[in-house]
Amino acid sequence: MPSRGSPPEDRAGLFSADHSTLHKEDLSSKIKEQKIVVDELSNLKKNRKVYRQQQNSNIFFLADRTEMLSESKNILDELKKEYQEIENSEKTKIKK
């Protein structure tokens, strides 16, 4: 039975555009969260304790503040890099 509306090729293009937009928005919110984490860790007093949550559980372990800060900065850099790659790929698609 023939489908109405746009051809399948057009729908695939819309899906990938929607997916990329959703991924970009998700990255943007993760970047904002990570900026807050870095800021909070940067402003902690030296004698404050930092705890890291065990993945997929409610268990927390004592962690080194400076290590957590450097890890958080690295994660932020990776997220920014990934976001920039998406931005650049969108710009190249627009040029074509």
The three-class DSSP label of residue 59 is coil
The three-class DSSP label of residue 49 is coil
The amino acid sitting at 26 is D
The per-residue pLDDT for range 29-69, each reduced to its tens digit, is 999 999 999 999 999 999 999 999 999 999 999 999 999 99
**pTM for this structure?**
0.73
Cβ-based neighbour number of residue 88 at 10 Å: 10
Does pLDDT of 95 surpass 80?
Answer: no
- C-alpha distances in angstroms, 61 versus 19, 31, 45, 49, 94? 36, 24, 19, 10, 47
Looking at residue 41, what is its pLDDT? 96
Looking at residue 32, what is its pLDDT? 97
